[in-house]
Structure 1
Amino acid sequence: MWTQRRMDPAVMRQIFVFIEGPLTEEYGMDNEEIEKLLMEADDFVELIRYHWASDINGFPNERQRRLQLAAILLLAAFTGSRPQALLDLTYGDLDLYIEKNTETHADMLRLGVKLTKTKSRQKRKRPKTYTFNLDDNPIFCVITHVVSLAFDDSAFGPPDLKSPDILFRLRARREKGCQPIPWRNNMLDVPVFRRAVATKEGVKTSPDKALTYNVYQAWVKRLGEALGYLQTLTTYCLRRALGNAINDDPKSNAAVRNLALDHVGSSTIFERNYLSRMIRYSTQDAFWNRDGDPQAAKSASRIGCLRDPNRPRKLTDEQSQQVRQLPSVRRLLESRDRVRGLILREFGVLRMAVGEPIHAEYKKLERMVNSTIRAEERALLKCSQRQYDETAPVEAIQRQIRGISAEAQELALESDSTQIKIPERRQIAEAAMSDPAVFTGLKALSRHIKCSSTMIALCQRRERRSTREISSATKTGLAAGVHDTHSLPPSSTFERIFPLTCQKHQCLFCLCSDLPQEDREKRYAGKHSLQRHAERCRLRHFQEQEQIPCPDNVACRGIVLEGKSHFKNHAASVHHFIL
């Protein structure tokens, strides 16, 4: 009800005085300002490279996680904009064109990004536009990422503009010196960065719903945790870094900085909220009137200075079991199990009690158990991290004093590269780690074309989310069953004539999907795990009597089953997929 409404300044002042005064004193609140670190260029390069080459988090599809997140991070670093302004970008806000350089007469592909949904628009609509050129390295090029997303959406207006090879070789018109590249009219209001939605065919990218801030920020936070940052990584680390970089640049001025950061009026907002509290100037060298090293003074404010890849990121199995043995958790588990026993005695199975008060009580207790376990796990993880932060520096110094070198261990950790299953992502990761200086002229253009084509193909790929491992004996049995002619994956080099058959606890939907082979052939820990997976991922999108096509579109092409019961009978008798 109070959205987009401004409170009376006098009321806000009273609230501020109450919080800073009686409330702080009564509850012993800490009102000390936390240091807001910056993500400088070196840290940002490391972040993007880790994102492509080492990140092991699984997500709905590679467009959602890899390409969209990388593009948003690049825009956040180069524009300093607030995250919501970037998430709300539509194709109508992008101006792609080819311009002829007046000095070299070379044709340059450029991208104009107009930010219209900024915070200042609440007072007055004053959009601002940023212009981007092709970067030497396509992994750090905004244009390459945006055009790859546009090709995946078929957003270009010219019907024959169907590949990056055609786009990157277009020329500007002689009479005007500029060649605009239009979008399709029905794509102008479509968000560039869109969320994932669950459908009957699996997880797809929404045709019209923008990516939400909560999902995006969770991805960024998880990426920072994987890198070992001690503080939470947010988009504002990039926003503050750009503001301080513009402020330190003698060629810039306060007006440019305020426009880039969308600050209206004086520099008070920047100085109070964005200027690093770490003095980015060598006062020691200034006192002695000697030339100093500016980078040494600036490095203290980098978020990368507080990075430790060995810092605990999750609890061990023993710690997780320890949480479940806590008295508060055990009491809730006993209450839940007691209600569950009453349901089973009266109804036989849990699902028969759906809609009854006792079932609602059971679900409430189950939610309480899960929330309590998560809260206790978070508290224990913070305690483990705090203990590590206290002991790790002491142990490292002790090893140095005793002459025990940890370089071999550190090198082993750094060289332990992540196994990338998707070939397109592997190619992009190799490009991210290569030196762009060796690619000049036509080689540089070909590199952009190849990278964009790979990104477009990557948008259609996906990787299974990580789950707990199964036993080695089960893995051995799976490996032995992979070569069964009846269980060949859909990507086999010859046409199958027999239906796919599932090994024990294998999913037919996964086996017929476009997942990497290892994920297609995954076997779940038990029957109930398989049932939950099949119901959550596919079957819940169908009504009880709705027609369900058989996933095996090679041997069972055109077969449609009448309802879930008919599908389960067919899956069990033909494909050995027992639910």
Structure 2
Amino acid sequence: MKNRLRDLCAMIYQETGTRIPKALNEHVCGYIETELVNTHSVEDVLREKDLVDSVDFFQLLQYLWCHDTYEFPHPRCRPQIAFLIQILSYTGARPGTVVVSSAYAESNDSLKYKDFELLLMHGDDGPELVLKVTLRLAKGRRNFARATVVTLHEDRKCRGRCPVTSFLGFAFADQAFDNIHPRQIGYLKPGESTHLPLKIKDSMLEVPVCRMYSEGAISPTKAMTYNVLRNQANQLGQRLGLPAVLRPYNFRRSTANAIAGKVTAEKYTKLLNHTTKTSAEYYASNEVDVDSMSLFLNAAQETERLDKMKGMNFYKQSHAPASLPHSENQKILNDPEFKRLESIESGVSNEVAQAKANKERAEPLLEKRLASAISKRKNYYRRAYDNAYKKYRSEFFQEVGPREVQRQIRAMEGSDEDTSIADSFSDRHHSSRGVAAGYFTTREHIADVFFRNPSSTGESPTYTSMQQKEISSNIRDAAFCPNYEPKTVLATFSMAPGDFRLDMSVEWMQPKAVIKL
């Protein structure tokens, strides 16, 4: 009841801007704790706060993909729940930070593509992808400029736990990248630079990653709400056979317990978005220097990756423009406002010159007008130059990644190696490119790729029962297909040997149906 009172106070402040007096709030809380408990049989008990440890986390994802018989209304619903479980566990975020909060039900604000930054960087075993997640919807600090940023990395031991793999699947299904094919991801390289950013289209930045199912399809704009996430988490726990209720908040508690005592108090507070009263907060970076993903999975922190990304040198581009090009500078000189100021200065200057030609001393007012005209023209040029240079330089850093990606793709297309990429692509090292390319494949296929390796507990997942069981066509269809239509299924299977939908095929799986694409 005190939680509901707190929500009521927050709602009143949000709608009217009026804060409930602290004394009145304390008086009502005292009434709840004493009078209601003593005279109205209200139980004063604490709700059990259950945790989801790394073993529970793995079993949830494995069950969801490999053994769950529940038929979601759309194939995208399953990977969305899996991705949200990963984000909640690895970042320790509150549920209202990643989906539409119940307190802001009309906002339709959740994690959007603009909150993710995908980078290709040098790793110990070659190039690796990292995913930076900006948690801008923190409680009490929504859309603040200094939002917490958590860095996640690939999990090459088990793709079913890998947030990078899941994000790539959604991004390719939504066609969020500019001219990048799933198969090309694995062949891109950071090159001589420290990293290679993979840019999201500007038109996709405001699109929620996890969206609602509505009227037979996934909504293109409506974000998933907390109520939907809560209900699906509860039902998943029930189907798995958990005695306790599985709540989205359980993942946050688990992350807090996993990192407790393993990081400093400042980092702990920063990751969990708690309010601090120390001066350290004013100097701390908004990027959390904690490998929360490894800590949650009971593994040692891999801090080398985070250390590389700390300094400004990581984002350096040695060929970045140091000045505005002549063509851009000429645009300022041809600007109508600059021409007008230049004309005024020229007119006053002519008056001064005429006065001197007549051997007359220019009046102080005339000289003051000339100085003012010169100052206005110079100030306008300086401001225009600074703004144009900042914009030009900003656009350079935004486009340097896409330009380098396209350069490498063109190089692939002109090489013999690219022929093999197009004709006989293989899923070497179980890389993200292979799983992302599989958004046309069946659920059994995705489950096999996700969990083909032994789990962290030492047990090898078995899929015999699922392989032999006939699953309905809705589940067998493309797990990430954006244009899914349940009834457009062919009765017979016919594909050319080089068809890209067979890239990830396995011996035991003989497809019986395929969606019209």
In which range does the TM-score fall when normalised by the shorter chain? 0.5 to 0.7
Which of 116, 121, 136 matches 1:94? 116
User: What's the offset of the Cα at 1:213?
Assistant: 1.1
Secondary structure in 2 matching 1:132: strand
How do 1:26-105 and structure 2 match up within 5 A? 26-64=39-77, 66-87=78-99, 88-101=110-123, 104=124
Q: Please give the secondary structure, in 1, of the residue aligned with 2:76.
A: helix
2:12 aligns with: 2
- In 1, distance between residues paired with 2:477 and 2:490? 21
1:265 maps to which of 258, 261, 276: 276
Deviations along 1:135-154, one digit per CA (max 9) or x if unpaired, are 02111000000010000000
Report Cα offsets for 1:241-269 as digits up to 9, x if no partner.
Answer: 110111142xx1222111111111269xx
* Partner AA of 1:162 in structure 2: H
Determine helix, strand or coil for the equivalent of 1:233: coil
Q: Is the 8 A contact 1:59 1:463 kept in 2?
A: no
Find 1:156's aligned residue among 162, 167, 177. 177
Q: What does 1:345-424 align with in structure 2 at a 5 Å threshold?
A: 424=442
Judging changes above 3 Å, is the alpha-carbon distance between structure 1 residues 517 and 214 closer, same or farther for their aligned structure 2 residues? farther
Cα distance change, pair 206–430 in 1 and its aligned pair in 2 (3 A): same
Distance 1:183 1:231, change over 3 A: same
1:177 is aligned to 194
How far off its partner does 1:226 sit? 1.0
Residues 1:23 and 2:36 are matched in the alignment:
yes
| Residue 129 of structure 1 pairs with residue 146 of structure 2 | no
TM-score w.r.t. structure 1 length?
0.47
- Residue in 2 that maps onto 1:255: 266
Query: What CA distance in whole angstroms lies between the structure 2 residues aligned with 1:40 and 1:489?
Result: 40
Is 1:143 the counterpart of 2:143? The answer is no
Provide the secondary structure at the position in 1 that maps to 2:220: strand
Distance 1:492 1:108, change over 3 A: closer
Q: Give the structure 2 partner of residue 426 of structure 1.
A: 444
- Displacement after TM superposition at 1:123 (Å): 10
Mapping for residues 298-317 of structure 1, pairs under 5 Å: none
3-state SS in 1 of match to 2:129: strand
Cα distance in 1 for partners of 2:485, 2:43 equals 43
Q: Which residue of 2 aligns with 1:306?
A: none
Q: C-alpha separation between the residues in 1 aligned to 2:232 and 2:66?
A: 16
The 1:51/1:229 distance shift into structure 2, 3 A limit, reads same
One-letter amino acid of the structure 1 residue matched with residue 12 of structure 2: W
Q: CA deviation at 1:433?
A: 4.0
Against the structure 1 CA distance between its residues 208 and 15, is the aligned structure 2 distance closer, same or farther, given a 3 Å change threshold? same
Secondary structure of 1:62's match?
coil
How big is the shift at 1:3? Answer: 5.8
Query: Is the CA contact 1:194–1:207 (under 8 Å) kept in the aligned structure 2?
Result: yes
Task: Provide the secondary structure at the position in 1 that maps to 2:134.
Answer: strand
Q: For 1:190 and 1:61, how far apart are their aligned partners in 2?
A: 19
Distance across 1 between alignment mates of 2:24 and 2:138: 26
Distance, in Å, in 1 between the alignment partners of 2:140 and 2:66 is 38
Q: For residues 47 and 145 of structure 1, what CA distance do their matches in structure 2 show?
A: 16
Identify the residue that residue 108 of structure 1 maps to in structure 2. 128
Query: What SS is found at the alignment partner of 1:98?
Result: strand
How far apart are the structure 1 equivalents of 2:13 and 2:490? Answer: 51
Q: Secondary structure at the match of 1:457?
A: coil
Matches within 5 A, 1:205-216: 205-216=218-229
8 Å CA contact retained: 2:176, 2:201: yes
Q: CA deviation at 1:122?
A: 5.1
What is the distance in 2 between the residues matched to 1:151 and 1:135?
19
For residues 185 and 436 of structure 1, the distance between their equivalents in structure 2, rounded to whole angstroms, comes to: 40
Aligned partner letter, 1:71: F
Structure 1 unaligned segments of length 5 or more: list them. Answer: 268-294, 296-421, 439-453, 465-487, 495-515, 521-552, 554-579
* CA distances 1:257-292 after superposition (whole Å, capped 9, x unpaired): 11111111269xxxxxxxxxxxxxxxxxxxxxxxxx
Amino acid at match of 2:201: R
Q: In the alignment, residue 179 of structure 1 is paired with which amino acid? A: L
Counterparts of 1:3 and 1:456, CA distance in 2: 47
Q: What is the deviation of 1:436? A: 5.1
Task: Report the equivalent of 1:187.
Answer: 204
Match of 1:13 in 2: 26
2: CA distance between counterparts of 1:241 and 1:148? 26
Does 1:204 find its partner at 2:217?
yes
Q: Distance in 2 between matches of 1:30 and 1:517?
A: 57
- The answer on whether the counterparts of 2:89 and 2:255 sit within 8 Å (CA) in structure 1 is yes
Letter in 1 for 2:181: K
Q: Which amino acid aligns with 1:182?
A: K
User: Which residue identity does 2:80 align to in structure 1?
Assistant: Q
- Deviation readout 1:293-331 (Å, 9 max, x if unpaired): xx9xxxxxxxxxxxxxxxxxxxxxxxxxxxxxxxxxxxx
Residue-by-residue CA offset, 1:15-70 (whole Å, 9 max, x unaligned)? 10010011111121211212212111011111111111122222221102x11110
Say if 2:478 and 2:484, in contact at 8 Å, map to a contact too. no
Partner Cα separation in structure 2 for residue 455 and residue 93 of structure 1: 31
Structure 1 residues 31 and 517 mapped into 2: Cα distance closer, same or farther (>3 Å)?
farther
- TM-superposition CA deviations, 1:409-454 (whole Å, max 9, x none): xxxxxxxxxxxxx97211222344432589xxxxxxxxxxxxxxx9
CA distance in 2, matches of 1:133, 1:21: 50
- Identity of aligned pairs, percent? 28
What is the match of residue 378 of structure 1?
none
Q: Tell me if 1:457 matches 2:469.
A: no
2:355 corresponds in structure 1 to none
**Residue number among 441, 453, 456 corresponding to 1:435 in the alignment:** 453
Distance in 1, Cα, partners of 2:34 & 2:485 = 52
Q: Secondary structure at the match of 2:12?
A: coil
Paired amino acid for 2:90:
F
Summarize the Cα distance change of 1:229–1:179 in structure 2 as closer, same or farther, 3 Å threshold: same
Q: Residue 243 of structure 1 aligns with which residue?
A: 256
SS in 1 for 2:237: helix
Structure 1 residues 180, 436: CA separation in 2 closer, same or farther (over 3 Å shift)?
farther
> SS at the partner of 1:208?
strand
What is the CA–CA distance in structure 2 between the aligned matches of 1:517 and 1:8, rounded to whole Å?
66
Verify the 8 A CA contact 2:441 2:477 in the aligned structure 1: no
